[in-house]
Amino acid sequence: MTKPPVQAAPRLADYSADWRMAMLAAAALVVGTGGALGAWVLIKLIAVATNLFWFGRLSAASSEIKDSHLGLAVVVIPVLGALLIGLMARFGSDKIRGHGIPEAIEAILYGQSKLSLKVALLKPLSSAISIGSGGPFGAEGPIIMTGGAIGSLFAQCFHLSAAERKTLLVAGAAAGMTGIFGTPLAAILLAIEVLLFEWKPRSFVPVVVAVLVAFAWRPLLFGGGALFPFVLGALPEIGTALGLALLLGMLAGLEAALLSQLLYRIEDLFHRLPVHWMWWPAIGAVAVGLGGLVDAHVLGAGYGNIQSLLDGGLTLRVVLALLVVKALVWLVALGSGTSGGVLAPLLTLGGALGYLVGLWLPGSPGLWAMIGMAGIMSGAMRAPLTGALFAAELTGHFDVLPLAVIASTGAYAVSVLVMRRSILTEKIARRGRHILQEYTVDPLDFLQAGDVMTRDPATLPGDLPVVGAVEFFAGQAAHRSYPVVDAEERLLGLASRSDALRWQTEERQWGTALVDILSDASQPCAYPDTPIGAVADMMVETGVGRIPIVERASNRVVGILSRHDLLKARSMRRQDETGRDRAFSFGSG
C-alpha cells in the first residue's frame, strides 16, 4: 500500500501574509514617528548651518541666503562646505554621496534593504552642511535616505526578513517626505511608483500607516496647512486649459530629459579628473559660488523661490536666473557627488519654465508655474501620479488636479520616448544594474499547471521489475525521471535515472516490482489548477525537477511539469507583449 502523494500546498507567504502585515503596520507607528522627527532634525540642522555659514550666528531660526551680503565670500563658503562633505564621505561613509533616492533604490534591490546607523547619522548632517553652505539642493532626497535608514535599522533590530526590511525602509522614507512637505498622498504614491517595486497589502498598509503618523506629527513640528499656498485667480476655460497644460507638460518633459543628459555628462567629466573623488564636491562648489555671484537666489534649497514663483512676485531677470543659472550650478554640484536632493531644484526649474510660458497664457503665471512643477517632476522621476498629486498637495489647489494630471502624463510620455531611464535609475544603470520600472503580473502567480504542463506524459507501470527499469534508463529513456502508475494510471511515485543507478549498486532482487521499491517514498505532485508558482516552490523545496500533475478526484496522472515548462510562462507573456494577430474575421465562434 503506497503512501498518498504530497500535494502542492499554498506557499508559506499566503498563510502568513495577514499577521506579517499587522506586525509591520504596528512597526510603522514607530517608523513613521522616527521619519517625522528625522525631518524636523534635518530642517533644524539646515537652518543652523545656514546661519553659521552666512550670518555667523548660532541659531536654528529660518533664514534666506539671499539676505546675506558677503561679497566675494559667496564663492568661498560653498567650497568650505563641500570640503567638509568630501571628508565625511571619505572617512565616514561614501553612501552619503548623491541625492538619496537612487541610493535608497539600490539598497532595496541589491542590498537586502540594509542601511547602517552611520548613514542615518551622517546623511542628514552632510546634507545640512551642503544646503546650508549654499548647495542648490532640497531636503527631500536626504530625508528619504535618512527615514529609510530609520526603518531599515528598526527592522534589523528585530531580525526581520529582507522583504520586511524593505517595507519599513520605504515606510520611513515616505514618512520623512511627508514630514518635510506635508504631502501624504504624494508620499504614498512615490513609495509605489519609485521605491517599493511591488503592490502588496504587506507593504502598502505599513507605508500608509507610517505616512499618516508622520502627517499627524507635522502640525506639532512644522505647523499645518499647505507648504506653498498661493492665490490662484480665475482659471481659463477648461478645454483650453487642458490643452495648454498638456503642451506645457510635454515641454517640461523635454526639460527633464535635457537635465538628465547634462547631469550624467557632467558626472562623466568629474570621473575623468586626476584627483580623488573626495575633492570633487569642492571643485563643483566653485561653480555654485560663481552662480551665487550672478544671483544669490540660486543658492540653497530655494523654498522661498518656489513660493515667489507661485505668487508671481519675481522679476523676469530672477526667473531667468533660476531657469538657467540654477540649473547649471545644480547640475555641476550634483554631478560632483556631493550630498543633496533633487525635488526642490526640479520644482524650481519646472516652476520657472511654467512661469515664463505663463506670461503669454491665460490665467496667472503662478498657475502655470504649478503645472510646470508637476510636469518636470513626472518627467524626471518617471512618477506621473506622484508629480500631479505632489503639486496639488504642496499648494492646496486640488481644483487644478486635472491640469496637473494631464501635464504629468504629457511629461511622462515625452520622457519615456526620449530617455531610456529616469534621472534616478540612470545613476544605478551606470553601475551595471538596469532597473525596469514597469509593474506587471508575474505569470507564475496567475497561470495554472494545466496551462503549461506536458499532457499525457510517458509513464512506467508499477508492476515493472527493477531490472526492466534499469534497462529502460540505460537505453531508451528521453527524460531524467518518469511517473510510476498503477493499472488505472494513478500516481504511485517517480522513478529517476539516479534511482536506476542506485538500484544497480544495491543488493536487491531484480524481479522486485517498482511499486514495492517506491512504497516508502512520498511523491510531490500538483493538480491542473495549482498555480505554477506553487509548483516552482515545490521544485525548490524538494529538489525534484519534474512534478507529476494529477486529477484531484482520481489521482490519475494527466501531465507533468518540468523546469523547462516553467519557461513557457515567460514565452507566453512575451508573445502577449510582442505578437500581432491578424485582423478579425467573420467566421463562426
Tally of domains within the chain: 2
Residue 72 within a domain? yes
Which of the listed residues 378, 399, 429 is the one where a domain comes to its end? 429
Per-residue pLDDT of the chain (589 residues; tens, 9 = 90+): 344 444 444 443 444 567 888 899 999 999 999 999 999 999 999 999 999 988 888 888 888 887 777 777 788 889 999 999 989 888 888 777 876 677 777 777 777 778 778 877 888 888 889 888 888 888 777 888 888 889 999 988 888 888 889 999 999 999 999 998 999 999 999 998 888 878 888 889 999 999 999 999 999 998 888 889 998 888 889 999 999 999 999 999 999 999 988 988 998 899 899 999 899 999 999 999 898 888 888 888 888 889 999 998 888 999 999 999 999 999 998 888 887 778 888 999 999 999 999 999 998 999 999 999 999 999 998 889 999 999 999 999 999 999 999 999 999 999 999 988 877 777 777 766 666 655 556 666 677 888 888 888 888 898 888 888 888 888 777 888 889 888 889 988 888 888 888 877 765 567 778 877 775 456 788 999 888 888 888 888 888 888 899 998 888 999 999 888 887 776 666 665 555 555 444 554 4
Pair (395, 451) in one structural domain: no
Return the amino acid letter for 551: E
Residue 292 within a domain? yes
Which of the listed residues 429, 460, 478 is the one where a domain comes to its end? 429
Q: Which of 331, 310, 313, 330 is nearest to 134 (CA)?
A: 330
Residue 353: per-residue pLDDT: 95
* 3-state DSSP assignment of residue 485: strand
Pair (159, 284) in one structural domain: yes
Q: Which of 249, 262, 199 is nearest to 416 (CA)?
A: 249
Pair (47, 148) in one structural domain: yes
Instruction: Give the structural domain span for 41.
Output: 18-429
Pair (54, 75) in one structural domain: yes
Pair (538, 418) in one structural domain: no
C-beta separation of 222 from 43 below 8 A:
yes
Residue 245: per-residue pLDDT: 95
Return the amino acid letter for 199: W
Residue 10 within a domain? no
Rounded CA-CA distance 33/29 in Å is: 6
Pair (314, 203) in one structural domain: yes
| Max Cα distance, the chain (Å) | 101
Burial of 30 (0-12, 13-18, 19+ CB in 10 A): middle
Residue 437 within a domain? no
Pair (492, 350) in one structural domain: no
Pair (389, 456) in one structural domain: no
Task: Give the end-to-end CA distance of the chain in Å, rounded to a whole number.
Answer: 49
Pair (399, 462) in one structural domain: no
Rounded CA-CA distance 344/141 in Å is: 9
CATH of the domain at 506: 3.10.580.10
Pair (366, 450) in one structural domain: no
Residue 220: per-residue pLDDT: 92
Residue 11 within a domain? no
Cβ neighbors of 54 (< 8 A, separation 6 or more) are: 63, 65, 68, 70, 77, 132, 134
Q: How many CB atoms lie within 10 A of CB 188?
A: 22
Residue 1 within a domain? no
C-beta separation of 569 from 585 below 8 A:
no
Rounded CA-CA distance 589/587 in Å is: 7
Burial of 493 (0-12, 13-18, 19+ CB in 10 A): buried
CATH of the domain at 285: 1.10.3080.10
Residue 105 within a domain? yes
Sign (positive or negative) of CA dihedral 573, 576, 577, 579: positive
Enter the DSSP assignment of 556.
B
Rounded CA-CA distance 122/300 in Å is: 19
Pair (61, 184) in one structural domain: yes
Strands 491-496, 524-525: pairing is unpaired
CA distances from 575 to 14, 292, 571, 572, 581 (A): 29, 55, 6, 5, 10
Pair (171, 200) in one structural domain: yes
Rounded CA-CA distance 317/339 in Å is: 29
Backbone angles phi, psi at 87, to 5 degrees: -65, -40
Strands 481-485, 460-461: pairing is parallel
C-beta separation of 507 from 459 below 8 A:
no
Residue 586 within a domain? no
Which of the listed residues 404, 429, 454 is the one where a domain comes to its end? 429
